[in-house]
Structure 1
Amino acid sequence: MKAVQYREVGKGPEIVEIDVPEPGPGQIRLKVTAAGLCHSDWFVMDLPEEQYTYGLPLTLGHEGAGIADKLGAGVTGITVGESYAIYGPWGCGVCRNCAEGKENYCTRAAELGIAPPGLGAPGAMAEYVIVDDARHLTPLGDLDPVETVSLTDAGLTPYHAIKAAQHKLFPGATALVLGVGGLGHVGIQIIRAISEATVIAVDVSAEKLSLATEVGAHHTVVSGPDAAARIRELTGGVGADAVFDFVGVQPTIDTARASVAVDGYIHIVGIGGGLLPTGFFSTPFGAAVRAPYWGSRSELIEVLDLARTGAVSVHVERYGIEDAVEAYTRLHHGAVRGRAVVVP
Structure 2
Amino acid sequence: MKALQYRTIGSVPELVEIPRPVAGPGQVLLRVTAAGVCHSDEFIMGLPEDQYVYGLPLTLGHEGAGTVAALGEGVTGMSVGDSVLVYGPWGCGRCYPCSRGEENYCETAAAQGIRPPGLGAPGAMAEYLLVDDARHLIPLTDLDPVTSVPLTDAGLTPYHAIKKSLPVLIPGSVAVVIGAGGLGHVAVQILRAITPSLVIAVDISEDKVELALAVGAHHGIVSTGNADEMTAVDQEVRALSGGRGATAVFDFVGLQSTTDLAARLVAVGGQITIVGVGPGTVNVGLFSTPWESSARATYWGSRPELVEVLELARSGRISVEVERFTLDEAPRAYERLRAGTIRGRAVIVPNAEQQENDAP
The interval holding the TM-score normalised by the smaller chain is: over 0.9
- The total of aligned residue pairs comes to 344
State the partner residue of 1:116: 116
Aligned counterpart for 2:278 among listed residues 258, 267, 272: 272
Deviation at 1:67, TM superposition (A): 0.0
State the partner residue of 2:340: 334
Matches within 5 A, 1:8-157: 8-157=8-157
Runs of 5+ consecutive residues of structure 2 not aligned to the other structure: 351-360
Distance 2:147 2:322 in 1: 7
In the alignment, is residue 200 of structure 1 matched against residue 200 of structure 2?
Answer: yes
SS where residue 101 of structure 1 aligns? coil
Please give the per-residue CA displacement for 1:89-146, whole angstroms capped at 9, x wherever unaligned. 0000000000010000001000000000000000000000000001100000010000
Distance 1:330 1:189 in 2: 24
State the partner residue of 1:222: 222
Distance 1:273 1:189 in 2: 26
Amino acid at match of 2:330: A
SS where residue 167 of structure 1 aligns? coil
Aligned counterpart for 1:311 among listed residues 294, 312, 317: 317
SS where residue 43 of structure 2 aligns? helix
Deviation at 1:319, TM superposition (A): 0.2
SS where residue 129 of structure 1 aligns? strand
Amino acid at match of 2:11: K
Amino acid at match of 1:53: V
Runs of 5+ consecutive residues of structure 1 not aligned to the other structure: none
Percent identity among equivalent residues? 62
Amino acid at match of 2:194: I
State the partner residue of 2:243: 237
Deviation at 1:280, TM superposition (A): 1.0
Deviation at 1:235, TM superposition (A): 1.1
Deviation at 1:76, TM superposition (A): 1.1
Amino acid at match of 1:18: I
State the partner residue of 1:320: 326
Amino acid at match of 2:245: G
CA RMSD, Structure 1 to Structure 2 (Å): 0.6
SS where residue 43 of structure 1 aligns? helix
Distance 1:273 1:303 in 2: 28
Distance 2:171 2:12 in 1: 46
State the partner residue of 1:188: 188
State the partner residue of 1:170: 170
Amino acid at match of 1:284: P
Deviation at 1:227, TM superposition (A): 1.4
Amino acid at match of 1:250: Q
Distance 1:263 1:79 in 2: 50
Amino acid at match of 2:183: L
Amino acid at match of 2:12: G
In the alignment, is residue 5 of structure 1 matched against residue 11 of structure 2?
Answer: no
Deviation at 1:231, TM superposition (A): 1.1
Structure 1 length normalisation: TM-score? 0.99
Distance 2:334 2:288 in 1: 37
Distance 1:28 1:337 in 2: 33
Amino acid at match of 2:112: L
State the partner residue of 2:354: none
SS where residue 328 of structure 2 aligns? helix
Aligned counterpart for 1:289 among listed residues 260, 271, 295: 295
Please give the per-residue CA displacement for 1:173-194, whole angstroms capped at 9, x wherever unaligned. 1000000000000000000000
Deviation at 1:232, TM superposition (A): 1.4
Deviation above 4 Å: which 4+ runs of structure 1?
none
Deviation at 1:275, TM superposition (A): 1.3
Amino acid at match of 1:251: S
Distance 1:228 1:26 in 2: 53
Distance 1:309 1:153 in 2: 19
